[in-house]
């Protein structure tokens, strides 16, 4: 369905000098994948990862150089592989050649083959068996792409013989003709598909000679009889594909998520939150349970602190769709509750205990978008994504000297991820109507345990230093669920795909984390600078399953059922360095004005499809005050983030220039603390 939209799309992008080189690299990558029996599926994301380029760059190169999408290029390459196998008699049947090269729906394969080569695959087989001479290709891949895109499918006609593309089977048919002696002169030097076809012609001559022996004739006749029996049985009822499990069909459309796994955008506390979380060196009281457990050693009497990120509104832009809901969320995000037991509870001079529950990661966003490329065409998209981490913990702080303190914690981070997305599209003309709908519901949760160690040192009256390290999380419990449905209604029939696993395997790895801060304090004015480090991870399966899904295709005239294995969702976290800067001015004994800024870079690898890569920068300001035993603060905040890509799926070619996702978050912050 979306391929028809690409036929009508008008891309207003200018030429780029490197896109031709990139397009050729992608084509070479496709051939390498076909030659490697252990290669991964030929998806757009896999090509971007192996070539170390972005998905959007590949799309632009394909559109500009070949005039077609990555999916169509990949299909053309596979069609040439099938054509070569049929010409040299390397397979026993057409269905074997088709399924061996990834065409699981024979009716659709027949249509693709006829559109590209101008004849049925059965005719190619007959010609290969009777022909005694080779005919060399004379058209290149670009001509094939343009010819297959020159008119809507309903109006396409077989191509002239001089324009048919295929290894050793293209060109005018003339009895007595001989192949050109200079193979390189008969094909374009830039056409890799044609060059590979020509390179294989010499070896195929010997195979064709064997077809003339009586034994080969008898074997061919036997295969024809068997094929006729199988076709008769198929026409009598529902046809099923091969029993073995097939790879996931590459053309299944997955609605993209709006998940952000950024580490450092939630900062609890009174002045701590207002100063952008720059409090590793000077953390005191209950918020020290979050920033640096060594700071609780300074508490004399029991203190309770409760803070919230307040109310947060997020504005979404640059989705890639023409129309997008402006505000994706308006939520209240609780972030921290902590208590430190004072000397009146536990009579220890230099040791304090504390307990806390924090939300260092909290992301809950929804969006609705749509595009109307032309009259009678539409694409609509909706998503609701949530990524949260709840961390209960127990801490201890020890003051070795009045100036040197040590701390430690045991934390139990509980991470939950959920995403529900829907993508649909339709094309309606005066005589036909086609549509497709894809839905995805995925979730996962994991409970881990990790250790924390920290230190604070007050070098003199105006300088303090702090350091904290958190170990990677060790998984205790984990669970996942995944459901995917796809339905397309085409002129030739329909296609349905379904997968469900309520016990899917889920894993989220929490990496090493370290932070260091230096604080300067000169009476009524002070500031602190913090640096935070998060290590990267190897590529691992975030969400996977051992169960299989089914695809039912009726475009061939009868239902054809295929069983496929789901591709696991891969993820790799990059190493990131974040920072915070906070400052304050003491206005009076009870009032303090604070401000801060922070950077929150995304750990998402550019080839990852499950998470969105958005780098954030935030600013906060507000006032804190103290009345008797109660302390409180109120402030405002603003975050801005820019992503590396939009929300349009890579295999849905929507017209118009690509864009970068933007997020703007406006927050109302408040917190209070009570000292017993």
pLDDT digits (tens, 9 = 90+) for 542-597: 999 999 999 999 988 889 999 998 888 899 999 999 999 999 999 988 899 999 99
Contacts of 589 (CB under 8 A, 6+ apart): none
Buried b (16+ CB within 10 A) or exposed e, 186-204: ebbeebbbbbbbbeebeeb
Cα–Cα distance, 475 to 158 (Å, whole number): 59
Cα–Cα distance, 181 to 11 (Å, whole number): 41
Cα–Cα distance, 340 to 143 (Å, whole number): 74
For 326, the token pair is 């402006």
Residue 131 is predicted with a pLDDT of: 57
Q: Mean pLDDT check: name the lowest of 358-362, 494-498, 520-524, 626-630.
A: 626-630
Cβ of 546: how many Cβ atoms within 10 Å? 11
Locate tokens 């006749």: which residue?
221
Please, what is the average pLDDT of the chain? Answer: 77
Q: Mean pLDDT check: name the lowest of 47-51, 73-77, 221-225.
A: 221-225
CA angle (153 as vertex; 147, 154 as ends), nearest 5: 130
Cα–Cα distance, 153 to 656 (Å, whole number): 23
Cα–Cα distance, 60 to 15 (Å, whole number): 10
Buried b (16+ CB within 10 A) or exposed e, 598-615: bbbbbbbbebbbbbbbbb
| Residues 473-530: tens digit of each pLDDT | 999 999 999 999 999 888 888 889 999 999 999 999 999 999 999 999 998 999 999 9
Average pLDDT over residues 112-126: 84
The phi, psi pair for 621, rounded to 5°, reads -155, 155
Does the pLDDT at position 424 exceed 70? Answer: yes
Cα–Cα distance, 126 to 30 (Å, whole number): 29
Cβ of 10: how many Cβ atoms within 10 Å? 8
Sort residue 183 into left (φ over 0), alpha (ψ -120 to 50) or beta.
Answer: alpha
Contact 618, 598 (CB under 8 A): yes
Cα–Cα distance, 511 to 534 (Å, whole number): 6
Does the pLDDT at position 195 exceed 80? Answer: no
Cα–Cα distance, 676 to 302 (Å, whole number): 6
Question: What are the contacts of 512-515 at 24+ separation with CB within 8 A?
Answer: 512/469, 512/470, 512/471, 512/472, 513/263, 513/469, 513/470, 514/467, 514/468, 514/469, 514/470, 515/280, 515/466, 515/467, 515/468, 515/469
Distances (CA, A) of 110 to 103, 121, 122, 497: 10, 7, 9, 21
Does the pLDDT at position 205 exceed 50? Answer: no
Residue 136 is predicted with a pLDDT of: 37
HSE, side-chain direction, 13 A CA sphere, residue 640 = 3
Cα–Cα distance, 126 to 94 (Å, whole number): 11
Average pLDDT over residues 619-630: 88
Cα–Cα distance, 49 to 296 (Å, whole number): 46
Average pLDDT over residues 331-346: 85
| Residues 260-312: tens digit of each pLDDT | 999 998 888 878 889 999 999 999 888 899 999 999 999 988 988 876 657 88
Helix, strand, coil shares of the chain, percent, nearest 5, are 25, 40, 35
Distances (CA, A) of 218 to 61, 122, 215, 328, 575: 49, 18, 5, 68, 64
Residue 653 is predicted with a pLDDT of: 54
Residue 171 is predicted with a pLDDT of: 33
């Amino acid at each position: 369905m979306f391929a028809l939209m690409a036929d009508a799309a008008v891309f207003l992008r200018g030429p780029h000098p490197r896109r031709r080189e990139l397009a050729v690299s992608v084509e070479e990558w496709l051939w390498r994948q076909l030659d490697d029996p252990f290669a991964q599926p030929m998806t757009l994301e896999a090509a971007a990862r192996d070539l170390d380029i972005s998905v959007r760059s590949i799309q632009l190169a394909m559109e500009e150089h070949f005039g077609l999408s990555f999916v169509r290029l990949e299909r053309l390459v596979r069609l040439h592989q099938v054509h070569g196998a049929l010409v040299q008699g390397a397979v026993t049947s057409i269905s074997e050649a088709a399924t061996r090269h990834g065409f699981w729906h024979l009716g659709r394969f027949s249509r693709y083959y006829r559109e590209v080569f101008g004849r049925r695959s059965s005719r190619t087989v007959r010609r290969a068996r009777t022909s005694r001479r080779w005919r060399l290709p004379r058209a290149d891949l670009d001509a094939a792409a343009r010819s297959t895109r020159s008119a809507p499918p309903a109006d396409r006609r077989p191509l002239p013989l001089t324009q048919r593309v295929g290894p050793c089977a293209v060109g005018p048919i003339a009895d007595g003709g001989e192949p050109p002696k200079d193979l390189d002169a008969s094909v374009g030097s830039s056409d890799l598909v044609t060059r590979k076809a020509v390179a294989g012609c010499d070896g195929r001559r010997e195979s064709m000679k064997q077809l003339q022996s009586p034994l080969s004739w008898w074997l061919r006749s036997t295969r024809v009889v068997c094929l006729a029996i199988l076709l008769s049985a198929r026409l009598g009822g529902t046809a099923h594909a091969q029993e073995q499990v097939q790879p996931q069909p590459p053309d299944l459309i997955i609605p993209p998520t709006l998940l952000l796994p950024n580490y450092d955008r939630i900062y609890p506390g009174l002045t701590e939150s207002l100063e952008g979380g720059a409090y590793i060196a000077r953390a005191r009281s209950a918020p020290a349970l979050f920033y640096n457990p060594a700071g609780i050693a300074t508490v004399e009497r029991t203190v309770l602190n409760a803070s919230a990120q307040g109310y947060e509104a997020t504005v979404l832009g640059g989705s890639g769709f023409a129309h997008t809901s402006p505000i994706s969320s308006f939520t209240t995000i609780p972030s921290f509750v902590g208590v430190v037991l004072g000397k009146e509870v536990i009579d220890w001079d230099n040791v304090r205990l504390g307990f806390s529950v924090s939300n260092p990661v909290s992301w809950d966003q929804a969006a609705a978008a749509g595009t109307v490329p032309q009259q009678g065409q539409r694409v609509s998209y909706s998503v609701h994504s949530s990524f949260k981490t709840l961390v209960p913990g127990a801490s201890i702080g020890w003051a070795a000297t009045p100036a040197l303190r040590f701390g430690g914690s045991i934390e139990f981070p509980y991470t939950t991820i959920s995403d529900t997305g829907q993508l649909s599209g339709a094309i309606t003309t005066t005589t036909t109507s086609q549509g497709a709908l894809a839905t995805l519901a995925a979730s996962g949760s994991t409970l881990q345990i990790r250790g924390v160690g920290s230190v604070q040192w007050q070098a003199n009256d105006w300088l303090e230093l702090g350091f904290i390290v958190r170990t990677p999380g060790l998984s205790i419990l984990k669970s996942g669920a995944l459901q995917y449905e796809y339905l397309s209604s085409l002129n030739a029939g329909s296609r349905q795909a379904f997968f469900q696993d309520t016990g899917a395997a889920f894993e989220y790895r929490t990496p090493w984390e370290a932070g260091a801060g230096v604080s300067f304090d000169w009476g009524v004015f002070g500031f602190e600078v913090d640096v935070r480090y998060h290590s990267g991870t190897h590529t691992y399966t975030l969400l996977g399953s051992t169960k299989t899904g089914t695809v039912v295709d009726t475009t061939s005239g009868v239902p054809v059922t295929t069983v496929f294995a789901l591709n696991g969702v891969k993820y790799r976290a990059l190493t990131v360095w974040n920072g915070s800067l906070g400052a304050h001015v003491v206005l009076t004994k009870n009032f303090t004005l604070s401000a801060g800024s922070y950077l929150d870079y995304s750990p998402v690898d550019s080839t990852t499809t499950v998470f969105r890569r958005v780098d954030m920068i935030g600013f906060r300001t507000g006032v804190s005050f103290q009345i008797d035993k109660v302390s409180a603060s109120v402030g405002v905040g603003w975050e801005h983030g820019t992503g590396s890509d939009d929300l349009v799926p890579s295999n849905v070619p929507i017209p118009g220039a690509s864009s970068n996702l933007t997020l703007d978050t406006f927050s109302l912050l408040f917190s209070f603390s009570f000292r017993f």
